[in-house]
């Protein structure tokens, strides 16, 4: 299970549990992929609801890469994410939250 205290979020892809984490390198890659100038721009984009399904995919890829995965977006185009697009968006949102705040006691 992903460790919320270190910013980790679990996601199940093609039946396999993976751990996502937004490391500094993953965040820098994500900024470049989304054309964001700053971390604040990046967070504002998602908080304001101005994101696309492609943005969610890029965020998941960045989190997976931060968790040690070496794939890319093309590897996920035909992958099955447990819970579908809603679960993917929820995991992506949780990933951003955990990257920038400490978890509440009992989170897991």
Range of the domain at 78: 4-100
Q: Give a yes or no: residue 80 inside a domain.
A: yes
pTM of the model: 0.83
The length of the chain in residues reads 108
pLDDT at 4: 74
The domain total for the chain is 1
Residue 91: CB partners within 8 Å, gap ≥ 6?
9, 10, 11, 20, 60, 63
Residue 105 placed within a domain: no
CB-based contact 20:91 (threshold 8 Å): yes
pLDDT of residue 99: 85
Q: Find out whether 18 and 67 touch, Cβ atoms under 8 Å.
A: yes
| Structure confidence at residue 98 as a pLDDT band (50, 70, 90) | confident
Provide the 8-state DSSP code for 62: H
Helix (H) or strand (E) holding 76: helix 73-76
Residue 22 lies in a domain: yes
Beta strands in 1-108 (DSSP E): 9-13, 16-20
């Amino acid at each position: 299970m992903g460790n919320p205290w270190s910013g980790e979020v679990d996601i199940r892809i093609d039946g396999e549990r993976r751990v996502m984490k937004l490391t500094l390198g993953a965040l820098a890659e994500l900024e470049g992929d989304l054309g964001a100038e700053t971390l604040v721009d990046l967070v504002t984009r998602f908080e304001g609801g101005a994101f696309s399904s492609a943005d969610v995919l890029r965020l998941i890829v960045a989190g997976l890469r931060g968790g040690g995965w070496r794939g890319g977006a093309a590897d996920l185009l035909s992958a099955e994410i447990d819970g579908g697009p809603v679960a993917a968006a929820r995991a992506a949102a949780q990933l951003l939250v955990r990257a920038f705040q400490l978890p509440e006691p009992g989170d897991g």
